[in-house]
């Protein structure tokens, strides 16, 4: 179960990133060219938020299965100084939840905006901040806080 969740969670990061980049590109292009907010734009808005929600769910499940997390909470005082433990126990969780909340709010607000320009703008701002937080909180192989592979191969 743990290995399956970790593999899925690792892979799903690429879908999260890809959907955000495509949605941001469409928002930027639509805003600059003043094109109508098409049903394809709306589908990207919707699916980007949905993919982020799936990743959030996988993350919460992984949080309950990972052996790192109970160790972190049992030894909180010492663990906060251990970079990798505090990263997964606290910072990864907080930054990722914040990012997904922003993506959710942005998606909901964009849907309700009156003009197409406002829809693109709202989607661009919220998804852009969400992407920035996610990029910071991923344990890239070059991250100074915690390093994990680009692709999980057990």
Q: Which residues bind ligand HEM (CB under 6 A)?
A: 6, 9-10, 13, 16, 52, 55-56, 59-60, 62-63, 66, 68-69, 88, 92-93, 96-97, 99-100, 134, 138-139, 148-149, 152
Smallest separation, CB 27 to ligand HEM (Å): 18
Give the residue at shortest CB distance from ligand HEM.
Answer: 59
Smallest separation, CB 138 to ligand HEM (Å): 5
Q: Closer CB to ligand HEM, residue 103 or residue 110?
A: 103
Smallest separation, CB 90 to ligand HEM (Å): 10
Smallest separation, CB 153 to ligand HEM (Å): 10
Q: Closer CB to ligand HEM, residue 43 or residue 60?
A: 60
Q: Closer CB to ligand HEM, residue 61 or residue 125?
A: 61
Query: What is the rounded distance in angstroms from the CA atom of residue 121 to the CA atom of residue 127?
Result: 10
Q: Cβ(126)–Cβ(102) under 8 Å?
A: yes
For residue 110, give the 3-state DSSP assignment.
helix
Cβ-proximal residues to 38 (8 Å cutoff; 6+ apart), any chain: none
Torsion of CA 14, 22, 99, 45, to 10 degrees: -120
Across 53-91, b (16+ Cβ under 10 Å) vs e yields: eebbebbebbbeebebbeebeeeeeebeeeebbbbbbbe
Smallest separation, CB 119 to ligand HEM (Å): 23
């Amino acid at each position: 179960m743990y290995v399956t969740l970790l593999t899925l969670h690792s892979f799903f990061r690429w879908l999260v990133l890809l959907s955000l980049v495509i949605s941001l590109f469409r928002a930027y292009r639509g805003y600059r060219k003043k094109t109508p907010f098409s049903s394809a734009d709306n589908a990207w808005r919707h699916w980007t938020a949905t993919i982020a929600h799936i990743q959030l769910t996988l993350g919460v499940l992984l949080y309950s299965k990972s052996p790192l997390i109970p160790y972190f909470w049992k030894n909180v005082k010492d663990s906060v100084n251990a970079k990798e433990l505090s990263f997964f126990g606290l910072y990864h969780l907080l930054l990722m939840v914040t990012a997904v909340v922003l993506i959710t709010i942005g998606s909901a607000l964009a849907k309700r905006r009156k003009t197409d320009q406002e829809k693109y703008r709202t989607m661009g701002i919220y998804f852009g901040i969400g992407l920035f937080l996610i990029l910071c909180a991923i344990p890239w192989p070059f991250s100074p806080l915690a390093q994990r592979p680009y692709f999980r191969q057990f």
